[in-house]
Structure 1
Amino acid sequence: MTSAESTIEKVNKNLARRYRAEQRFRLYGILSVLFGLSCLVVLFTDIIGKGYKGFVSTEIYLTVDLSSDDLGISDPEVENAFMQADFEGAIKRALYARLDVTDRRAKRALNALISSGASYALRDQVKRQPELLDSSHGFWLLADDDVDTWYKSVDSKSPFTGRLSDEQLTWLQTLDFSGELRTALNTTFFTSGDSREPEMAGIMGAALGSFFTVLVTLLLSFPIGVAAAVYLEEYAPKNRWTDLIEVNINNLAAVPSIIFGLLGLAIFINFFEMPRSIPLVGGLVLTLMTLPTIIISSRAAIKAVPPSIREAALGLGASKMQMVMHHVLPLAMPGMLTGAIIGMAQALGETAPLLMIGMVAFVVDLPGGVMDAATALPVQIFLWADSPERAFVEKTSAAIMVLLGFLFLMNALAVWLRRRLERRW
């Protein structure tokens, strides 16, 4: 074998080894992607499998006698007539008559099948339709969470009976056999606030709290972040002080979110004595957290504008402010909006800073503004996940599905804005 042939053989072996290494590296990448996708599939399957039942609730059909005398309504026109009426007693009497129960102990067990919120729903319906008074009508009434959990698992191999007694199960099977037990869309989940009773708990209060909090964050962080980015890119001199500011902005983007919660607790609540658990304080804290992200993305968008645009504007006699406002900012706005939406999505999913400023409080009433006590959707999920009732498991998963839906929509909006408004140079 000649020296030239030996060299060619060594080169070919080396190339073959490099090609095999490249193929292995490519295979590792494919396996990593598949592993990540499989983890997502398992996660979403578990969440959806537990959460889809949270969007429906179990109801019991009863024929209720709405006699004005029994309800204690002498004049329906009186303002508080329906508020003081005994709708709970009317439901109990209808339940006793339907299942022919007279024993006091059995009555207590039977009453436990109906949710404590059923009387309020019946009261609201009769208040809207006062012509229902002094007659008997059939109503689908909200069942207790134990009944709800059992009925949703009745088709499984091992139905969950929970705290239901054998006597209560017999009554429920009787109602189920006669078609007086059903599942329907759980509108309460979307229209009411939090509750100690799982079947009455909803996400509307938390959703409004998140909306007001993110609104405050957007109104504060976007203009401040854009202004800071414009100053640093177009006006700030390049010296050690601006370098220090840039380093600190980059470092703040990596600070754990709970640190901003501690900062908000120390400044806004302890120093300025602002109320706890209000969206205004939550928005201020999340503004501090999202500002570095918006500043960095806005600076990147401004840098992407070609220098020729600036030079042409200045060459035609525009001032520097006119050049920035009329040319640079409009061209950089798609990237700025994308960064702002991603920052808002990050703020929407944050829990730790809000826990530190007291937005973990149990709030039943729906907030009407940024100064009303409220909680946020991630915090609501945290509270439900810590509740001992089994029915809160599906509520937690359903709320996670709603939160993920909002996050997907916001990220999809960011991608759409980027593709719709971006200009290629």
Structure 2
Amino acid sequence: MKPPLSAHGSRTIDIVNRGLKRRYRAERRFKIYGIAAISLSLAFLVLLFSTITGNGYSAFLQTEIKLDVHFDPTQFEGRLVADANYPAIVKAALRGLFPEVSGRQELRSLYGLPSSSADFKVRDMVLKNRNLIGQVKPIWVLADDDVDMLVKGHVDRRLPENQRRLKDNQLAWIDRFSEQGRLRRAFNVNFFTKGDSREPESAGILGALMGSFYALVITLMLSFPIGVAAAVYLEEFAPKNRWTDIIEVNINNLAAVPSIVFGLLGLAVFLNFFGLPRSAPLVGGLVLTLMTLPTIIIASRASLKSVPPSIREAALGIGASRNQMVFHHVLPLALPGMMTGTIIGMAQALGETAPLLMIGMVAFIVDIPGGFTDPATALPVQIYLWADSPERAFTERTSAGIMVLLAFLISMNALAVVLRRRFEKRW
């Protein structure tokens, strides 16, 4: 028996086969488009990370100069130890290495090779051990940022003298330092132990890290219990009427509001109305709490919805009250998802800059904050400040700060994935 013919004389099986071939071709094209999109995304991601790493890894190393420092007793006569003329002591060590240098201009160029922080390092050493007075000690001090950039290969020595920051005589002195073994690159401890500074070689991120830490502590202490409580009420206890519908719509809308709007709200309410201290982690935490709450509420409600109705029915069936059903059975099962949403919300808050700029956390803060009301900045804001600085060394530290921020964000998101896989129950 022959296959039936269509109205145009074609066999039905041929029509079906042609249709299948078209669908298979479409599926193959769609697969190719998907692979191409993923490959392109990965290529841009690799380019981003390689650019940041290539620009920032060298910030974790810092050039140092070895000086033979004579703690001249005459510089301490008639003065407190803390008020001695430490700049003169450092300058004398430099003149001792280059006795042929004379003239005010040449001496000024010579004195500019070490960082200005060398004076403070010598001072701290004497304050810790006053027996150093009268002795000669070799000390490694930070080099100026221009010297550091030269050693790291960011300065073209072939350029004419008027087109680079280091003069010819300074290049010659740096070469002599290198020949005498007085130049080295060491791990940049200051980057992780110091606050911000006008000098790139002395700038660190500890102040910004502590500011972010205090702000996130406030955010976590407020946003998690309030967000979970709001989600439990809306999902388990609130009546379904027009008012709860309005609340739900507003929560969803708040999750999409630009973060700078929350900064304006914090400026108007927390600073201008309540008079809270400006540029403080306390205010930053309050603003980030407002911004994070919608995310936590939405994630918590989704986690509560994922608990099967049979759990609720079984708890009520054995005589549990509604409160006992929610807090003894439903909430513990939904808690892993809530924690995951909270961590993602905290990671979002860690990377925010715009709302913190509006409440004054863009200020130049040198001291490490010691509490929630001390003036502070945050890590994203610190990166923003460094990116606005013209020195090449600050560009290096900008990329290094981004690397540290990305490390924290990746860690927090990885923790969210681990918690979800560890505690999530599949029904």
How far apart in 1 are the matches of 2:119 and 2:305?
62
Letter matched to residue 349 of structure 2: A
Cα 1:159–1:223, aligned 2, differ >3 Å: closer, same or farther?
farther
Q: Which residue of 2 aligns with 1:130?
A: 130
How far apart in 1 are the matches of 2:273 and 2:155?
57
Q: Which residue of 1 aligns with 2:219?
A: 217
1:391-419 C-alpha deviation (Å, 9 max, x unpaired): 10001000000000000110111111111
Letter matched to residue 152 of structure 1: K
The worse-fitting range, judged by mean Cα deviation, of 378-387 and 59-68 is 59-68
Deviation at 1:158, TM superposition (A): 6.6
Q: Which residue of 2 aligns with 1:54?
A: 59
SS at match of 2:140: strand
Cα 1:72–1:418, aligned 2, differ >3 Å: closer, same or farther?
farther
1:369-407 C-alpha deviation (Å, 9 max, x unpaired): 110111100000000000111110001000000000000
Deviation at 1:155, TM superposition (A): 9.6
Cα 1:22–1:348, aligned 2, differ >3 Å: closer, same or farther?
same
SS at match of 1:140: strand
1:80-131 C-alpha deviation (Å, 9 max, x unpaired): x332122221111010110122322211110011111111122212322333
Q: Does 1:307 align with 2:309?
A: yes
Deviation at 1:351, TM superposition (A): 0.3
Q: Does 1:411 align with 2:413?
A: yes
SS at match of 1:63: strand
**Structure 1 residues 185-334: aligned runs within 5 Å:** 185-334=187-336
How far apart in 2 are the matches of 1:145 and 1:420?
47
Letter matched to residue 194 of structure 2: S
Contact 2:68 2:136 in 1 (8 A): yes
Contact 2:149 2:155 in 1 (8 A): no
Q: Does 1:344 align with 2:354?
A: no
1:194-213 C-alpha deviation (Å, 9 max, x unpaired): 11111111101110000011
Q: Which residue of 1 aligns with 2:31?
A: 26
Cα 1:331–1:135, aligned 2, differ >3 Å: closer, same or farther?
same
1:227-259 C-alpha deviation (Å, 9 max, x unpaired): 000000110011111111111111111111111
Q: Does 1:82 align with 2:87?
A: no
Contact 1:146 1:162 in 2 (8 A): no
Deviation at 1:133, TM superposition (A): 2.6
How far apart in 2 are the matches of 1:103 and 1:257?
56
Contact 1:153 1:159 in 2 (8 A): no
Letter matched to residue 20 of structure 1: R
SS at match of 1:337: helix
Letter matched to residue 38 of structure 2: V
Q: CA RMSD in A?
A: 1.8
Letter matched to residue 102 of structure 2: T
Cα 1:322–1:68, aligned 2, differ >3 Å: closer, same or farther?
farther
How far apart in 2 are the matches of 1:159 and 1:248?
60
Contact 2:82 2:127 in 1 (8 A): no
How far apart in 2 are the matches of 1:397 and 1:114?
24
Q: Does 1:116 align with 2:77?
A: no
Contact 1:73 1:82 in 2 (8 A): no
Q: Provide TM-score, normalisation by structure 2.
A: 0.94
1:123-167 C-alpha deviation (Å, 9 max, x unpaired): 212322333332111011111111111111179897998311001
Q: Which residue of 2 aligns with 1:78?
A: none
Deviation at 1:311, TM superposition (A): 1.7
How far apart in 2 are the matches of 1:408 and 1:378?
15
Letter matched to residue 6 of structure 1: R
Contact 1:150 1:159 in 2 (8 A): no
List structure 1 segments (4+ residues) > 3 angstroms apart after TM superposition: 71-74, 154-162
How far apart in 1 are the matches of 2:332 and 2:188?
45
Letter matched to residue 137 of structure 1: K
Q: Which residue of 2 aligns with 1:140?
A: 140
Cα 1:197–1:308, aligned 2, differ >3 Å: closer, same or farther?
same
Deviation at 1:315, TM superposition (A): 1.9
Q: Which residue of 1 aligns with 2:17?
A: 12
How far apart in 1 are the matches of 2:73 and 2:224?
58
Equivalenced residue count is 419
Q: Does 1:42 align with 2:47?
A: yes
Cα 1:3–1:159, aligned 2, differ >3 Å: closer, same or farther?
farther
Cα 1:182–1:25, aligned 2, differ >3 Å: closer, same or farther?
same
Letter matched to residue 384 of structure 2: F
Q: Provide TM-score, normalisation by structure 1.
A: 0.95
Cα 1:397–1:303, aligned 2, differ >3 Å: closer, same or farther?
same
Letter matched to residue 385 of structure 1: A
